[in-house]
Amino acid sequence: MNDLCQRLSRDLDGTFPELVGLLRQDIYSGLRRLYPAEAEDLTQETLIRAYRALAGYEPERIRQLQLRGWIWTIALNLGRNHARDRARRPQPVEYEDRHPKIDPEPPDSVAWDRRLRGLPPHQRQAVVLRHVVGLSYPEIAEVVARPEGTVKADVHRGLQKLRQIMEGEQ
């Protein structure tokens, strides 16, 4: 990751596709769980915003970046704004086939959407960032601007709650 930042700072256009290759699955998988309907648009927008931000940074700033955490700050900001705009606008009638799901999804994907909806927002976010995306606790604490201990507790309680939900299913 450090080496990637070095190269991004020297040749942004030549190296950026590598960043996309490295982080696309992280970003999409996380956003897919947090904002199911908009995950695809948000993933695109996150990466485009990241590129534009990098294009405006001094090389030194790029070399110092903690890429994964930094890009998740962008992604979560976009997600929040999206959710807020959505809440303000009257929603158009959505038809079942408007976004045909032609892409492969994990087998129990829909069940997980329902289970995760059962968690309070902070716990859901912490669980997804830790166990779907794979961020470290210090990275999550930085991204969500909450103390590391609080994040750990959120993940712990979130997992407990998920276990309860799944037991209730049987």
Q: How far apart are CA 170 and CA 165, in angstroms?
A: 9
- Does position 67 interact with other proteins (CB under 8 A)? The reply is no
- Does position 104 interact with other proteins (CB under 8 A)? The reply is yes
Stretch near other proteins under the rule CB under 8 A, chosen from 63-71, 82-90, 127-135, 142-150: 127-135
Q: CB under 8 Å to 143, separation ≥6 — which residues?
A: 69, 72, 73, 76, 129, 135
- Does position 106 interact with other proteins (CB under 8 A)? The reply is yes
Sign of CA dihedral 127, 128, 131, 133: negative
- Does position 24 interact with other proteins (CB under 8 A)? The reply is yes
C-alpha pair distances (Å), 56 with each of 12, 26, 60, 146 = 11, 24, 12, 28
- Report in angstroms how near the CB of residue 162 gets to other proteins at its nearest: 6
Q: How far apart are CA 162 and CA 168, in angstroms?
A: 10
- Report in angstroms how near the CB of residue 39 gets to other proteins at its nearest: 8
- Does position 10 interact with other proteins (CB under 8 A)? The reply is no
- Does position 153 interact with other proteins (CB under 8 A)? The reply is no
- Does position 40 interact with other proteins (CB under 8 A)? The reply is yes
